[in-house]
Amino acid sequence: MTTTELLALKNRRKYWSKQASWAHLAVSEMALSRLRSTVPGERSPNLSREISTGMLFDIQLNGKFAGKGYFQLSSRTLNNLSDYHVPVLVESVLSYLRVNPSGIYVDGTLGGGGHAAAILNRLSLEGKLIGIDRDPDALAFARNRLSNFSSQIVLRQANFERLADVVKELGFSSVDGVLLDLGVSSHQIDSDQRGFSFLRSGPLDMRMGSGQKLRAYDVVNRYEYKELKRIFKFYGEERHAGRIALAIVNARKEKPLETTDELVAVIDRVVPGHFRNKTRARIFQAIRIEVNGELAHLQAALKQAVAVLKPGGRLVVISYHSLEDRLTKQFFKTLAEPCDCPPEWPICPCDEKPAVKILTRHPVTAPPEEIAQNSRARSAKLRAVEKTGEL
Ligand SMILES: C[S@@+](CC[C@H](N)C(=O)[O-])C[C@H]1O[C@@H](n2cnc3c(N)ncnc32)[C@H](O)[C@@H]1O
Q: Single out the residue of 315, 312, 356 nearest to residue 333, CA to CA.
A: 356
- Say whether 330 sits in a helix, a strand or coil: helix
Answer yes or no: is pLDDT of 98 > 60. Answer: yes
Domain 213-291, CATH homologous superfamily name and number? Putative methyltransferase TM0872, insert domain (1.10.150.170)
Percent of the chain scored above 70 by pLDDT? 79
Domains of the chain by residue range: 3-73, 78-186+304-387, 213-291
Q: What is the per-residue pLDDT across 1-60, written as a single tens digit (0 to 9) for each?
A: 444 444 444 444 334 333 333 334 433 334 434 444 333 333 333 333 333 455 555 555
CA 210–ligand 1 middle distance (angstroms): 13
CA 212–ligand 1 middle distance (angstroms): 15
Segments of 320-360 assigned E as strands: 356-358
| Ligand 1 pocket check for 121: Cβ under 6 Å | no
Answer yes or no: is pLDDT of 138 > 90. Answer: yes
Q: What is the per-residue pLDDT across 54-89, written as a single tens digit (0 to 9) for each?
A: 555 555 555 556 555 655 555 666 666 677 889 999
**Cα separation of 102 and 41, whole Å?**
8
| Ligand 1 pocket check for 184: Cβ under 6 Å | yes
**Cα separation of 146 and 149, whole Å?**
6
CA 240–ligand 1 middle distance (angstroms): 29
Estimate the crossing angle of helix 260-270 against helix 241-254, to 10 degrees: 130
What residues have CB less than 8 Å from 115, skipping those under 6 apart? 87, 90, 93, 107, 179, 181
Looking at residue 45, its pLDDT comes to 34
**Cα separation of 199 and 10, whole Å?**
46
Q: Are 204 and 261 in contact (CB under 8 A)?
A: no
To the question of domain 78-186+304-387 being in CATH 3.40.50.150, the answer is: yes
Looking at residue 226, its pLDDT comes to 98
Q: What is the per-residue pLDDT across 185-210, written as a single tens digit (0 to 9) for each?
A: 999 999 999 999 999 999 999 999 98
Looking at residue 210, its pLDDT comes to 84
